[in-house]
Amino acid sequence: MASKKTKKKNNKKYIKFILAGILIVLVIVLIVKLTSNSSQTGVEGDGTEGTSQKSSGLFAKCGDGKCSASEDSGECCLDCECPEGYSCDGVNCKKIELKPDVKATFYQNTENYYSVTLLKAKGENLGTITLENNGDDDAKDTKLIISSPSGYFADKTINVGLVSTTEYENVVLDLNFLDPILDITSEQIIPLSVEIESYNSENKKYESSESFELEVYGRNFFSWRNPEMISSWVTPSQPTIKEFANKATGGIYTKGSSTKQLLAARWIFESIRAYGVKYTTDAHVSGDYVQFPIETLKNKGGDCEDHAILFASLLEAVGIESFVVLVPGHAYAGYVNVDGEKVFVETTATNFNYFGDDGTSKEIIPPSQNWHTYPQVILPEEVQLNMPSITKEITEECDCKFTLFSNWWTSEAEITFTNSGNAPGAGCAAMTTYSGGQVIGENLECWTVNPGQTRIETYEIDVSLGDILEGCSCSIY
């Protein structure tokens, strides 16, 4: 057995080894601590260097909230701060992307709550689109693409250009409305879809979208605060209106004289009455309800402005310059003859009643002079209307003669009217008698001619023996 002295020597030897190990560990800890107090350099995920303050720790763990000696921002950006201009994506530092953030709002022009008819005629100044850039980079080459989910207007692209950060840009909205908008007959909200495109300072494209609402009124809504707008309802270019005017008057030539123009005006008036169009009260209470001429023919009725608009449209369709007259609580129409005189016609009367300017206060709206601002709006035609088709033939030329029937001298002519259409119409003619080169009498008469009917009428003007002796002549139109 070993002696006790030998055992004591071995114990001392073990203690020395333990103390040496402890000393070595303390030295290592001291070195680590000294190293952690200095600034360390780390490499980020994209190769960009960043600086972080290190803390001591033998066993570093990413996500423990301490930037340890063995960590840097390239290895653990959760613990070690990324350099300026970079952000942590969970592990690595990535360069922060500067981008614009363009938002849009729409403010409708409350003065332009128009019917869709006026939008179709002139879709201008509907409101303002305001763009605001809340991003951290300017929005270059900003563009708006506006479209209609319902197909009410054509797509519109607006190039805005630069929208700087924290600044506003205002854009006035104009749109080109299409025929489907005229299907709207009452107050309605229609949607506007807006796509926004822009680029940041590094030419990267960004896109976003917005949805706006536009409040509109039906196609027959009208406000008289701007009466010139009524010109858009006067539509001689409407195919049915043009056809009705030509067939109802037998294609009368209206350029020659004021008598021929008066004949055409009377003929149109009588054709409207023969067709069955009557005066009806406007029962609508929101604004005024204005019919298109084709609607007045189709409905065979309308109030005062509807009759005036129909009459003016038919006059324009045969080449006569028309106008609509507004007086308090009433509307009628008229035309300008070849002598430059205004001829007024009470278009709601049962019988043809024309008169000159009596000097009373009235507002005269000439649609043909306003069409450059408020163009005609042609209502899509869904139904083919029945209409008259009148022809006239002078079966006996105008002559001055003595008749046994009247036992008097007269100028006479005989006209044959034929209606080959499928609706009632009117046959009209004007006769003028001259003596000594002066007009001594005029006779303008109209007759209702039903579909399939042929009607022969004699036009007469009484003349005196003196007129016969001086010389009598007559003409028929």
Residue 282 lies inside a defined structural domain of this protein = yes
pLDDT mean over 447-454: 97
| Count of CB atoms situated within 10 Å of the CB of 184 | 20
Q: Kindly report, residue by residue over 167-222, the tens digit of the pLDDT.
A: 899 999 999 999 999 999 999 999 999 999 999 988 999 999 999 999 999 999 99
- Do residue 336 and residue 245 come from a single domain? yes
The answer to whether residue 275 scores a pLDDT higher than 60 is: yes
Residue 41 lies inside a defined structural domain of this protein = yes
Q: Kindly report, residue by residue over 82-127, the tens digit of the pLDDT.
A: 887 778 877 778 877 889 999 999 999 988 778 999 999 999 999 9
- Do residue 344 and residue 401 come from a single domain? no
Per-residue pLDDT, 271: 97
- Do residue 349 and residue 241 come from a single domain? yes
pLDDT mean over 337-359: 94
Residue 380 lies inside a defined structural domain of this protein = no
Domain boundary at 175, 200, 219, which? 219
At residue 350, what is the residue type? T
Per-residue pLDDT, 59: 60
Quote the percentage of the chain above a pLDDT of 70. Answer: 85
- Do residue 90 and residue 206 come from a single domain? no
Return d(Cα 229, Cα 117) in angstroms, integer.
Answer: 10
- Do residue 231 and residue 355 come from a single domain? yes
The mean of the pLDDT values for the chain is 87
- Do residue 234 and residue 355 come from a single domain? yes
- Do residue 108 and residue 206 come from a single domain? yes
DSSP string for 211-251: EEEEEEB-TTEE-TTSGGGGGGG--TTSHHHHHHHHHHTTT
Residue 247 lies inside a defined structural domain of this protein = yes
Domain of 410, CATH number, reads 2.60.40
Residue 381 lies inside a defined structural domain of this protein = no
Higher per-residue confidence, 212 vs 467: 212
Residue 378 lies inside a defined structural domain of this protein = no
The answer to whether residue 58 scores a pLDDT higher than 60 is: no
Per-residue pLDDT, 57: 46
Q: Quick one: how far is CA 382 from the chain centroid? A: 21
- Do residue 277 and residue 341 come from a single domain? yes
Count CA atoms within 13 Å of residue 281 on its CB side.
Answer: 2
pLDDT band at 310 (very low <50, low <70, confident <90, very high): very high
Domain of 298, CATH number, reads 3.10.620
Contact 138, 245 (CB under 8 A): no
- Do residue 147 and residue 246 come from a single domain? no
Domain enclosing residue 15, as ranges: 4-95
With 0.85 as the threshold, say if the pTM is over it.
Answer: no
pLDDT band at 231 (very low <50, low <70, confident <90, very high): very high
Domain boundary at 59, 76, 95, which? 95
Among the listed residues 30, 77, 82, 79, the one whose alpha carbon sits nearest the alpha carbon of residue 58: 30
- Do residue 60 and residue 19 come from a single domain? yes
Residue 384 lies inside a defined structural domain of this protein = no
Residue 74 lies inside a defined structural domain of this protein = yes
CB-neighbour burial class of residue 91 (10 A; exposed 0-12, middle 13-18, buried 19+): middle
The answer to whether residue 360 scores a pLDDT higher than 80 is: yes
- Do residue 239 and residue 213 come from a single domain? no
Total domain count, the chain: 4
| The CA-based dihedral angle spanning residues 59, 62, 64, 67, taken in that order and rounded to the nearest 10 degrees | 80
- Do residue 364 and residue 229 come from a single domain? yes
Domain boundary at 95, 129, 153, which? 95
Domain of 127, CATH number, reads 2.60.40.10
